[in-house]
Chain A
Amino acid sequence: MWAVETTELTKEYRLGFWRNRRKRALEGLTLAVEEGEVFGLLGPNGAGKSTTLKLLFRLIFPTSGSGRILGRPLSDVRARARVGYLPETPSFYDHLTAQELMHYAGWLCGLDPGVRRARAQDLLEQVGLAEAAGLAIRKFSKGMVQRLGIAQALVNDPEVIFLDEPMSGLDPLGRRQVRDLILALRKRGKTVFFSTHILSDAETLCDRVAILHRGRLQGLGSLREILAGGVASNELVLEAPSPQTLEALARFTSATVRTGDQVRLELAANADASTVLGAALGAGASIVSFNPVKMSLEDYFMARLGTPSERPLAPRLGSNRTGAVEPGPAAHSARVESQRP
């Protein structure tokens, strides 16, 4: 059984005074999330991520298509006893304290008072709000509200947890805590379905990702496959190359980074490895290494959205932070290529 599945899920809004203008927020989304996996829904703002989550919780209704959570149709509220949801920029009742909100959330899930009390205490501790348990929510900072949102989503010990931009508004420590919490949930066999536009979070946490852009699914796959299989380009590191050697290799190079005596050449995507190596050896170069550069999620993401990658080279070298990055002729031609329709 799938934890979450959608079939041709489509949402169209009718806009304007006469509701005669139509805007498609989501178009024919079909995906399935396995039980126990951490699934990331990625995309820039306005891609349709929150729309998807709202459709799954019937906060809005699909124009067409359908979905199921834990085998039950979306209209069946019983499935929600086994799931948790953190909305985007959550908002809670100002007049309640964190403890009271947790108690209320637990009551809505049908938990006994004793269980509610224990879960509230445990979860507030887990999200770092134990000391603020008795504080009115109106006095909470944005980050505290976000943490409380995560705690209330977990009150019923759900099998599937939906988190809409869970890192939003959190400081670095808070982000780390939420990241650890998601990893702990995965360890306990829970399914986590979360949306984000922060790629590093997805890279750290997700087993599989779906990429949305303008309401359409642009890519869907196992993160391991995407990151392990995809080779963006190759890099060639040379020891003290002469200007003549660099000139001979310039037509294969998209960028050059000089660090001390070593020069790292990022090769253009269409450069053939054996040809480049042959040319380097022919020019009398001293080769330090030749490595394929693995595709990052950011590369994949940019490629799917039709935007050329602007991955900086410097962080990959570690010691070459001061190294100058010089785009080669191949890089210019690649950019020109990408601008063509």
Chain B
Amino acid sequence: MTRIAAIAVHTFKESVREKVLYNLVAFALLMIGAGIVLGSVSVGINEIALINLGLSAISVFGLLIAIFIGISLVWKEIERRTVYNVLSKPVARHEFILGKYLGLVLTLAVNAAIMTAGFYAALFYEQRRFGPADAAPLEAVYFILLQLALLVGVALLFSTLSTPVLSAVFTVGIFVIGNLLGDLRGFGDQAGNAALRALLHGLAWALPDFGAFNAISQAAHGELISRQVLWSNSLYALFYISALVSAAILVFERREFS
């Protein structure tokens, strides 16, 4: 456990020293600030506009960070041969992968916390008070975090297998398809061919359902997410992340560093 913590903290430290991270967070906070201006010119829907823009900024910039850092998470260690120094210590390969994964999720959580604090500051500036419905954006942020943790799992798996460019292509591809699983099932239903239908339904079942974590517009309208959805989505993410990280470990256990 101590070794996983060491690798996670080191990965966090490495990520927060990336200059691009600061640029992205600064830009996200700027976008949230812009939400105030946009809200002030939108008659009657200023808070909805602010919440929509603010949460979207947290989501988009979180996704950019997850993909940008996630795709080179393991690849960089192999390419620069820094992995030699880690694996020559009493560190099992699964500990290395778990540490890398948790380190990046920690980075994303801290970034999301900073952006959320900025968002709530903007919301308070707009409303001058907080009501019970203002917990809804917090639930949406929690779902964004689950989505990011899932995406890091996908990026991590590809990072153990491939180069950053290919990993980025695959990760973005899976994210896009994972947001359109309903459409994939719809295409399957309309397909005349039974085999194609089975294939599309199989894909829709197997690929991660990123769309299930989109709760931004719900939050913008002050609708709280039901406990049942919160739990089922949390368990779904946990299950899927476990599967992705296990697959990454399996690949990494067999990898040679020559």
Residues in chain A within 8 A of chain B (CB atoms)? 13, 51, 54, 57-61, 77-81, 83-85, 87, 90-93, 95-96, 104-105, 107-110, 149, 152, 156
Contacts and interface: CB of A to CB of B under 8 A. Distances in A.
Contacts of A109: 89-90
A77 B92 contact: yes
Contacts of B10: 93, 104
Interface in B1-50: 2-3, 6-7, 10, 13-14, 17
Contacts of B13: 95-96
Contacts of B3: 107-108, 110
Contact of B6 (A54, A85, A92, A107): A107
Given A54-B257, A59-B256, A110-B3, A80 B85 contact: no
B234 to A, nearest CB: 31
B81 A108 contact: no
Q: Which 5 pairs, one residue from A and one from B, show the smallest C-beta to C-beta distance? A: A85-B88, A107-B6, A108-B89, A81-B90, A87-B84
B88 A80 contact: yes
A59 B90 contact: no
Interface in B201-231: none
A58 B14 contact: no
B130 to A, nearest CB: 39
Nearest to B96: A108
B75 to A, nearest CB: 14
A127 to B, nearest CB: 15
B256 A80 contact: no
Interface in B70-101: 80-82, 84-92
A95 B17 contact: yes
A108 B258 contact: no
Contact of B90 (A54, A78, A95): A78
Contact of B84 (A90, A96, A110): A90
A60 B6 contact: no
Given A108-B3, A109-B90, A156-B89, 5 more contacts: A59-B256, A80-B88, A91-B80, A91-B82, A149-B85
Contact of A91 (B2, B81, B91, B92): B81
Contacts, number: 76
Nearest to B84: A87
Contact of A54 (B2, B7, B89, B258): B258
A281 to B, nearest CB: 62
A91 B2 CA distance: 24
Contact of B258 (A60, A77, A105): A60
B14 A59 contact: no
A107 B80 CA distance: 21
A17 to B, nearest CB: 16
A51 B256 CA distance: 11
Contacts of A78: 90
Given A54-B257, A59-B257, A90-B84, A107 B90 contact: no
B87 A152 contact: no
A77 B90 contact: yes
B17 A57 contact: no
Contacts of A104: 6, 10
17 contacts: A13-B258, A59-B257, A59-B258, A60-B256, A60-B258, A77-B91, A80-B88, A80-B89, A87-B84, A90-B84, A90-B85, A92-B85, A104-B10, A105-B89, A107-B2, A108-B6, A108-B89
Interface in B123-167: none
Contacts of B92: 77
Nearest to B257: A59
B113 to A, nearest CB: 22
A108 B91 contact: yes
A80 B84 CA distance: 13
A54 B7 CA distance: 22
Contacts of A108: 3, 6-7, 86, 89-91
A110 B2 contact: yes
Given A13-B258, A54-B257, A59-B257, A87 B81 contact: yes
